[in-house]
Structure 1
Amino acid sequence: MPLPNPAATAPYATRAETSRGRLHKEEESATRTDFQRDRDRIIHSGAFRRLKYKTQVFVYHEGDNYRTRLSHSLEVAQIARSIARVLGLDEDLAETLALAHDLGHTPFGHAGETALDDCMAPYGGFDHNAQTLRIVTKLEHRYIAFDGLNLTWETLEGLVKHNGPLLAGGRTMDDLPRALAEYAEVQDLELSTFAGPEAQVAALSDDIAYNNHDIDDGLRAGLFTIDDLMALPHVGDIFRGVIDKYPGVETARIIHEAIRRLIGSMIGDVIAETRRRIDAERPETAADVRALGRPLVAFSREMNDHNAVLKEFLFTRMYRHYRVNRSMSKAKRIVRDLFELLHREPELLSPEWQQGCDGPEGFKTARRVCDFIAGMTDKFAIEEHRKLFDLDDPRS
């Protein structure tokens, strides 16, 4: 009998003891719930370790103080556990989804994903959520009895649907990334419904962490100043309140205190809005949450408006800053160069990665090369590019 999680007190929480189970049957653990085992498998995976050298905005060598995919995932997990605990949800499942949500990202953040998606356009495209599913169901080779990590249905569902239904608004299987459509033939993840409440918590925790650490990193990098933030609703008020209360305090402490307050205010807003929706909808099970026509876990309308202004500011002043543009332009060229060369000459791949290829410029070769590049860290991609394209580099 699977272990229950007594901390999941809400009637609409996802229940570890009633999990729909794993695709490949395994003996139950005597010491951990199914979702705790999922979390541990994520932490011990190679893909999770590689997040240490995968960045979001800044390439790894640009400074040690900027967030990586790994540090970001840990921050998301901390926020997700906090929200899940207050709402009486399964903290372990929320943490698992937070830790795993970025596994499928390419090197060099969204620039790398854009470049790889362009390269893969004739072969089904590339999507980082679909790649996450591919990693945890196929590409991780750790267990003798199966490929992937053999995670529970609830974890897989949350990974692919944390941003909402995939078959909504007239979308069909033909509109989905290839990896998702292929897996749907193996296991039904109910792609037309919302995910469970823990996945919804993980999704908003990602937004909270992402927005706030981008403010922090952008200030540290000198892409904008605290004065630039003062005109933003909510963000400006928070910074102004800290400066007024602590005049003369060093800038680094001002930034930390303001970010801390911003995160706390956003968490409080999610909890308050979600409780309002719980009172209105009265869900009795996690299945009821999935069947609602809107998310149960959400920001208030006012906070959504504030976040929209903040995201527009970050897009203009940070993601499109000329220094970031230059770095990301180089990153795209590295990804495109690697894909085009390895797709044309798959014999340059290691024997392990040559397995499953179907010759130069083949469809299966494209998929293998895509998996190979998507799994690279920033550091490894730069080194591989140097080895393959620098004629003066003696390494091969």
Structure 2
Amino acid sequence: MARYDEHDQARWVPEPPGDPERSAFERDRARVLHSASLRRLAAKTQVVTPADYSSLHSPRTRLTHSLECAQIGREMGKVLGRDPDLVETACLAHDLGHPPFGHNGEAALDELARPCGGFQGNAQNLRLLTRLEAKVVTEDGRSAGLNLTRASLDAVCKYPWAASTCRLPGVPQAGEGQPYCVYPDDLGVFAWVREGAPERRLSFEAQIMDWADDVAYSVHDLEDALLSGYVTAAELRDPEERLEVCRLARAWYVPDADLNELAEIFARLVAGPLWPGRFDAGLVDLAALKRLTSALIGRFCRSAQDATREAYGDRALAGPRSHDEADGRYSADLVVPRLTRLECALLKGVTGRYVMSREDHHATQARQRELIAELGALIVQGAPETLEPALRADFANAPDDAARLRAVVDQIASLTDASAMAWHRRLASAPPAGRAVPSRVTSWGRRQSW
């Protein structure tokens, strides 16, 4: 097991020693498990909304996905010599920053937040964990969020750099359109988290979390697609249909892959003994589907574990004894064989083609984006009273319009799918006196006063 020193276990705001029978990372895990942000994931979209499924087959939500990711990541971390509580904490927290309506809501909020630097779910993760969640408050009244350890926060940093619009000396930046994990006004804590880390390098624990995330959603979204009836076993055995999946997978996930190579890999996958020849959702078929998903998860995890141990050996994966040596959290990289990555991408391609590319899904997404734009304008009109009490001070004390807008964005990002729609209905039905309800937030940049 890797040794984690005081530097790894330090907290942004020093705290008295905790229960000696619990490790610092066990405390981190508990803080995330008990957080409001994690609970809210139960009502946030993973791929499609629960209403799109029959009542018999509850689809994954962001919460169930995070729990499944955590189980996968914890076991991989243990096998690879990492602290399992640390890896599980990162997996539980990796999606906390996602707004209502999944990645579609993320795109809508990014548009809304352009005047204050944009929106990114990964950057919102760090903001929640270090500022917005209620757990630790400093002597001067500043929130430190959950005040997790440096190693746990770093393990959540999937993209350890700032937005491309950030222009601060010495701060690594994202490329245009590239994800990032910190907003400019959170750079102080980000610099503390990354103290001593190689620039732009993910910790080994963050890499395990990232692969556990890929494994969980690629396999389980396939399961949900079959359960929903959006795709049939017969379609996945049709070479022409599979070729369309391969084209989408290459375009979205693996642009460097050869189409014929993908087609051959997909054909071998569906020819496997566990792949369903038919699926009518009876108990026998449901059990068979579970055997398939279990086998795929085991296949993807073992492949990465075996390749990584072969590349580094058990001793190297165990890490150093102190922070003075090469940092154990950066002493290795997770090795995922190319074949495994392509198989995973093909499973994502199934969901992409049969769920995310449906015309009715596109129409729903358009309505969701419009709702978020309108909700932003409605909250702005009545702020700070239209914000929850925890965010009103951020708005009222903000030094400029950008900071006020960030408080509004924080509010919308915290909502679930259902509560976003409920807030929209409530605010739209009772607009501020003398003001019309705007249809879009297109006039934000021209707003002269609050």
Would the TM-score normalized by the shorter structure come out above 0.5? yes
Give the TM-score, by structure 2 length: 0.75
Output the CA distance in 2 between the equivalents of 1:158 and 1:86: 17
Output the CA distance in 2 between the equivalents of 1:302 and 1:270: 11
Q: Deviation per CA, 1:290-327, whole angstroms, max 9, x where unpaired?
A: 556xx611311111122233333432322112232222
Give the TM-score, by structure 1 length: 0.84
What SS does the aligned partner of 1:149 have?
Answer: coil
Opposite residue 269 of structure 2, the aligned amino acid is: D
Q: Deviation per CA, 1:6-54, whole angstroms, max 9, x where unpaired?
A: xxx2xxx252666340011112222210010010011111111111111
Residue 156 of structure 2: aligned partner: 159
Q: 1:212 aligns with which of 196, 219, 232?
A: 219
Residue 319 of structure 1: aligned partner: 356
Distance 1:193 1:183, change over 3 A: same
Residue 171 of structure 2: aligned partner: 173
Counterparts of 1:225-236 in structure 2 under 5 Å?
A: 225-230=232-237, 231=242, 233=265
Distance 1:95 1:366, change over 3 A: same
Output the CA distance in 2 between the equivalents of 1:125 and 1:182: 12
Output the CA distance in 2 between the equivalents of 1:180 and 1:33: 30
Q: 2:342 aligns with which of 302, 305, 311?
A: 305
Gaps of 5+ in 2: 175-179, 243-262, 321-325, 432-450
Opposite residue 234 of structure 2, the aligned amino acid is: D
Output the CA distance in 2 between the equivalents of 1:247 and 1:209: 21
Q: 2:43 aligns with which of 42, 47, 53?
A: 53
Is 1:389 the counterpart of 2:384? The answer is no
Is 1:200 the counterpart of 2:207? The answer is yes
Output the CA distance in 1 between the equivalents of 2:424 and 2:279: 49
The number of residues matched between the two structures is 376
Output the CA distance in 1 between the equivalents of 2:9 and 2:303: 32
Q: 1:237 aligns with which of 269, 273, 292?
A: 269
Counterparts of 1:204-283 in structure 2 under 5 Å?
A: 204-230=211-237, 231=242, 233=265, 237=269, 240-242=272-274, 250-279=284-313, 282=316
Q: Is the 8 Å Cα contact of residues 173 and 181 (structure 1) preserved in structure 2? A: no
Residue 94 of structure 1: aligned partner: 87
Opposite residue 242 of structure 1, the aligned amino acid is: L
Most deviating of 297-306 and 108-117: 297-306
Most deviating of 248-257 and 314-323: 248-257
Opposite residue 386 of structure 2, the aligned amino acid is: L
Identity of aligned residues (%): 31
Distance 1:280 1:166, change over 3 A: farther
Output the CA distance in 1 between the equivalents of 2:125 and 2:402: 20
Residue 37 of structure 1: aligned partner: 27
Q: Is the 8 Å Cα contact of residues 53 and 69 (structure 1) preserved in structure 2? A: yes
Q: 2:333 aligns with which of 296, 308, 313?
A: 296
Output the CA distance in 2 between the equivalents of 1:167 and 1:107: 23
Is 1:370 the counterpart of 2:367? The answer is no
Is 1:331 the counterpart of 2:368? The answer is yes
Q: How many angstroms does 1:265 deviate by?
A: 0.7
Distance 1:390 1:236, change over 3 A: farther
What SS does the aligned partner of 2:17 have?
Answer: coil
Output the CA distance in 2 between the equivalents of 1:380 and 1:247: 35
Is 1:72 the counterpart of 2:79? The answer is no
Q: How many angstroms does 1:85 deviate by?
A: 1.7
Q: Is the 8 Å Cα contact of residues 238 and 261 (structure 1) preserved in structure 2? A: no
Q: Deviation per CA, 1:162-193, whole angstroms, max 9, x where unpaired?
A: 35x53799x97374569444333344314714
